[in-house]
Structure 1
Amino acid sequence: MPATSKTELRAIAEKEFAKLQKLIAPIEESVAMLPDPEADGTTIKDTIAHRAHWITLFLGWYETGQSGQKAEIPAPDYKWSELKRYNADLRASQHDLSWEGAKASLDANHQTLLAMIATLDDDALYGGPMQGGNNKWTTGRWAEAAGPSHYRSAAKYIRARLRALAATA
């Protein structure tokens, strides 16, 4: 069930982030950088870097909307139907990012997300559609999708990937 208040949003963001942090903390770089042949060669590092990036996308959409402009969602020159291409381009642009760099980026962007949430009240988060968001989703719903929901899906993929790696060891 999606959060419906600032308190709930912050709590779920902190909870899901803590679970993801606990999961990835013991993963060594050699494991994090192994391509997954079942997922277009995506690595655990790519998954974490992707989640960090999407937080910055959301924050950009929010800022654009606050300035009275329509955000280009998901990104300039990409449509929702082109997410596979966008994600492949993102992985290519983050190719040289280290495992430590990906984790640091996720941590920093999570803190920025929490700081943004802290500045808004329930009405700003859930009182109506996000300005510039181009749909009926509230700012809080967008924030949840960019943060906690993405943390949950990352953890699910990483657990499955670690199981698959253990099965082949």
Structure 2
Amino acid sequence: MPRPKTKEELITLSNDNYKKLLAYIRSMTPDELHTEFPKGYLNRNVRDVLAHLHHWHLMMLEWYKVGMTGKKPDMPAKGYTWKMTPDLNREIWKKYQNEDLEMVMTMFEKSFAALQKVIHTHTEEELFEKRKYKWTGTTSLASYLISATSSHYDWAYKLIKKCKK
């Protein structure tokens, strides 16, 4: 499906890509789930990828919470610019190194549900109108939600599949 242009498409694609990712992960053997990815990838295993997705969910939820009060959220995170995203992703990776896959999976599922609630709360106009909210700048709320959900899940699915080979 191309990039969502309606609320229904956003809900469908975010859910479909989420389910596709989880189905793929659940089809893996315990050994495959814990096998290290080839050298050259920041995220070294399935846990790392899901922790990355979860943390970006949390950041999106924080941007939303702060932004909807009329304040400007720290984006992507306090002390980081968008050009520093690789550094931020390394910090995210470090943060979850002591968590096990099952805990990260639970956190990921909860943060996914929280983002779905945000999507369902808004009208199509509120989601897709550019410049509707000051904190989203020249783009729309949906643009941020697509990046944090369906597009990110597609990236994760392709990464895990590539690294499983």
Fold similarity call, TM over 0.5: yes
Task: Report matched runs for 1:20-99 at 5 Å.
Answer: 20-36=21-37, 37-40=39-42, 42-99=44-101
Give RMSD over aligned pairs. Answer: 1.5
The whole-number CA distance in structure 2 between the counterparts of 1:51 and 1:72 is: 18
TM-superposition CA deviations, 1:98-151 (whole Å, max 9, x none): 111111111111111111111110111012234313x32211111010001000
Offset at 1:34?
A: 3.5
Q: Say if 1:62 and 1:131, in contact at 8 Å, map to a contact too.
A: no
SS state at 2:134 partner: coil
Q: Say if 1:6 and 1:121, in contact at 8 Å, map to a contact too.
A: yes
Task: Report matched runs for 1:129-140 at 5 Å.
Answer: 129=131, 130-133=133-136, 135-140=137-142
For residues 91 and 122 of structure 1, do their structure 2 counterparts lie closer, same or farther at Cα, with a shift above 3 Å needed? same
SS state at 2:40 partner: helix
Q: Say if 1:35 and 1:41, in contact at 8 Å, map to a contact too.
A: no
The whole-number CA distance in structure 2 between the counterparts of 1:119 and 1:39 is: 36
Q: Say if 2:42 and 2:93, in contact at 8 Å, map to a contact too.
A: no
Offset at 1:30?
A: 4.3
2:5 is aligned to: 4
Q: Say if 1:29 and 1:99, in contact at 8 Å, map to a contact too.
A: no
For residues 66 and 41 of structure 1, do their structure 2 counterparts lie closer, same or farther at Cα, with a shift above 3 Å needed? closer
The whole-number CA distance in structure 1 between the counterparts of 2:42 and 2:153 is: 20
Structure 1 unaligned spans of 5+: 164-169
Percent identity between the aligned chains? 21
Structure 2 unaligned spans of 5+: none
SS state at 1:39 partner: coil
Q: TM-score under structure 2 normalisation?
A: 0.91
Aligned residue type for 1:7: E
